[in-house]
Structure 1
Amino acid sequence: MAAAALTAMAAAAGVVTTAAAAPAAGPGSGDGDQASVKTQIAALYRQADQLTQTYDAAQEQAGKLGLAVQRSQSALQVMQTDYQHQRVTLGAIAADQYRAGGVDDRLALMLADHPDTFLGNEAMAARLSDEQRRKIAEVVEERRQIDQLQHAAADQLSALDQTRDSAAQSRTQVSEQLRKAQALLATLSAPQRAAAVQAGLGTDPGSDFTGQQVDPTLLDQPALAPSDRARAAIAAALADLGKPYVFGAEGPDAFDCSGLIQQAWRQAGVELPRTSSEQAQAGQQVPLSQIQPGDLVIYYAGRSHIGMYLGDGKIVHAPHPGTDVKIAPLMSMPVNMVVRV
């Protein structure tokens, strides 16, 4: 995840440099300058989309780690409480041995504080009954488990801190990309701004990835009826048409691209992972030529964007900041893969 974040940030930095180096285009600029600015804006949105998925992955991992830490700490508290009760039993055994003259007071203290060392001494252990040895062995094992759990909890806390730092870094990078996009949008006239925002993510001129291709006539053919689950997911996604794209949002009032897909399929009774790259692995990959309504469509080389196929060559998706959940052409972005849940 950290590597993905670094890769995304490096790519983002390249796009920002390109955008900053280009001449600002004002309302009176030529069509070529306006087209260049719109291309740069789309590139910034694509990079923000990729970073958003990195942020979503970090947030999802932080949630899992947070639960793991809570479970570890709860188990540790229970075990430590029980261990203290067991130590009372050890104290009683030590007192019995001391009174019986089996061990002196220093050895009795060692039995209470370091039962593993005491039990390892054959001469001392021979003075104990089988029941006493069994009890001491139980306490030694419980102490070992407590130590192991303490180390695991410490590792989980460290991983949680690193994951939260990664999420914060990704969030900062997304905000920077969006600030750059807003600055470029400000150089356009109001109609041009509206057109640039609604233009979508488009292709990636800086990449060799062109995506899968399909004969358009295949998309015009009647599609098979979607399954009941797919029909429910489509209905849920369409119910969210017009709701705004918000970075990191997963509903019910706003979404990013993978948040919309996760929420729609959740309402159909299917729990998908949080990010587009993870969702790409959540079902059976099918050829683009065999796409059916309800299938997930993953876009770009980095699998950084996702939509849901509706049929008739259309998808529903949450495009990028400044737009709402909407219906768009299936081939408006380079298709990486199609997945059937």
Structure 2
Amino acid sequence: AREEYRDGGARLPGAVRALLAADRPDLLAEVHRRDLLERAGSRAAKLVDGLVAREARADALAERARAELDTEQTLAAYQREQREEVTERVEEAEQLLASLSDAELSGLRGLEQWADAEARQGLAADGSPGSGAGVPGAPGGDLPPSAAGREAVAHAREETRAQPAAGGGRAIAAAALGLLTPGAAPFLTGARAEPTAGPDLVVRAWARAGLRVPLTAGEQWAALERVDTGRLRPGDIVVLAPDAERSVLYAGDGEVFDRPFPGAPSRPTALDPERVLGAVRPDPAAPGV
């Protein structure tokens, strides 16, 4: 109290007295400079933190990319092994067929026709697609197609008619593999495996009818509306078992556009009910015509 009385009242803090001192004119500039430095330091710290976070995200993305590349390379190696194995088996079949007589080759072709007929009988026996014997409106028969479905079937039929007939030793050898060891050989054109031959025709036919459908059988099975396989209509997409690797276009009367054996061109073929996983419809809301 004595001190404050001597100084003439309340004692000011040292910082305030320093600001008011007449002999320190540069003090305000120094305070301003320090404030700027503190702000700049804070911004720099935030920038460093952001760079560290971005670097961490970049490292994570790079790790994912490496993992996906490893998966892709593994798949490519597996496909090469499968292709080499199939090519080797086809060459073995070619050598075997070269030793057959004309009568034996004719019998082999007849075997394919017999397998087709057996599939048709199975369809009629279990009431699967086309069991109405092709009669419109018959119980268990086909539903009338939509306008787009009918157009898709017409385009597929036109495309299959324009394909050259299968011929040559490789096609016959592929036929032997497909008939004698079902499921052992993928679909071949020359020496190139084409496991997506069915979906490609499906996609092209529906695209020409004015409707885009998913590109693969698995995507079609997942995205499109599923329908009862006993009440199909021409233009529906039949997805094949066991795991939706392929799909075919339903032509009506128990037939689909498919390759009767590996190496053959697509054509209307009797649908084997044991191969069917299910069916989907690209235009479920469209009425039949």
How far does residue 294 in structure 1 lie from its aligned partner after superposition?
Answer: 1.0
Counterparts of residues 214-233 of structure 1 (less than 5 Å) = 214=128, 217-218=131-132, 220-222=134-136, 223-233=142-152
Q: 1:198 to 1:182 in 2, by over 3 A?
A: farther
- Asked if 1:234 is matched to 2:153, the reply is yes
Q: Which amino acid aligns with 1:149?
A: A
Counterparts of residues 268-307 of structure 1 (less than 5 Å) = 268-274=210-216, 276-307=217-248
Aligned partner of 1:322 in structure 2 is: 263
Aligned partner of 1:9 in structure 2 is: none
C-alpha contact 2:224 2:280 (8 A) present in aligned 1: yes
Counterparts of residues 148-297 of structure 1 (less than 5 Å) = 148-184=57-93, 186-187=96-97, 188=100, 189-195=104-110, 213-214=127-128, 217-218=131-132, 220-222=134-136, 223-241=142-160, 242=163, 246=189, 247-249=192-194, 256-267=197-208, 268-274=210-216, 276-297=217-238
How far does residue 325 in structure 1 lie from its aligned partner after superposition?
Answer: 1.3
- Unpaired runs of 5+ in structure 1? 1-99, 101-124, 204-211
C-alpha contact 1:200 1:319 (8 A) present in aligned 2: no
How far does residue 179 in structure 1 lie from its aligned partner after superposition?
Answer: 3.0
Aligned partner of 1:144 in structure 2 is: 53
How far does residue 326 in structure 1 lie from its aligned partner after superposition?
Answer: 1.0
How far does residue 286 in structure 1 lie from its aligned partner after superposition?
Answer: 1.4
Q: Distance in 2 between matches of 1:324 and 1:281?
A: 27
Q: Secondary structure at the match of 2:202?
A: helix
Taking structure 1 as the reference length, the TM-score comes to 0.49
Q: Distance in 2 between matches of 1:282 and 1:171?
A: 30
How far does residue 315 in structure 1 lie from its aligned partner after superposition?
Answer: 1.0
C-alpha contact 1:261 1:308 (8 A) present in aligned 2: yes
How far does residue 256 in structure 1 lie from its aligned partner after superposition?
Answer: 1.8
- Unpaired runs of 5+ in structure 2? 1-29, 119-125, 137-141, 167-187, 283-289
Q: Distance in 2 between matches of 1:214 and 1:321?
A: 25
C-alpha contact 2:240 2:277 (8 A) present in aligned 1: yes
Q: Distance in 2 between matches of 1:128 and 1:319?
A: 80
Q: Deviations over 1:301-322 (max 9, x none)?
A: 3434421111122211245532
Q: Distance in 2 between matches of 1:304 and 1:202?
A: 25
RMSD of the TM alignment (CA)?
3.8
Q: 1:181 to 1:137 in 2, by over 3 A?
A: same
C-alpha contact 2:237 2:249 (8 A) present in aligned 1: yes
Q: Which amino acid aligns with 2:231?
A: Q
Q: Which amino acid aligns with 1:313?
A: G
C-alpha contact 2:116 2:269 (8 A) present in aligned 1: no
Q: Distance in 2 between matches of 1:173 and 1:201?
A: 27
How far does residue 169 in structure 1 lie from its aligned partner after superposition?
Answer: 0.8
Question: Which segment drifts farther, 290-299 or 315-324?
Answer: 315-324
C-alpha contact 1:300 1:336 (8 A) present in aligned 2: yes
C-alpha contact 2:239 2:279 (8 A) present in aligned 1: yes
Runs of 4+ in 1 over 6 A off after TM superposition: 197-203
Q: Which amino acid aligns with 2:258?
A: H
Q: 1:233 to 1:168 in 2, by over 3 A?
A: farther
Q: Distance in 2 between matches of 1:264 and 1:248?
A: 22
Counterparts of residues 93-132 of structure 1 (less than 5 Å) = 128-130=37-39
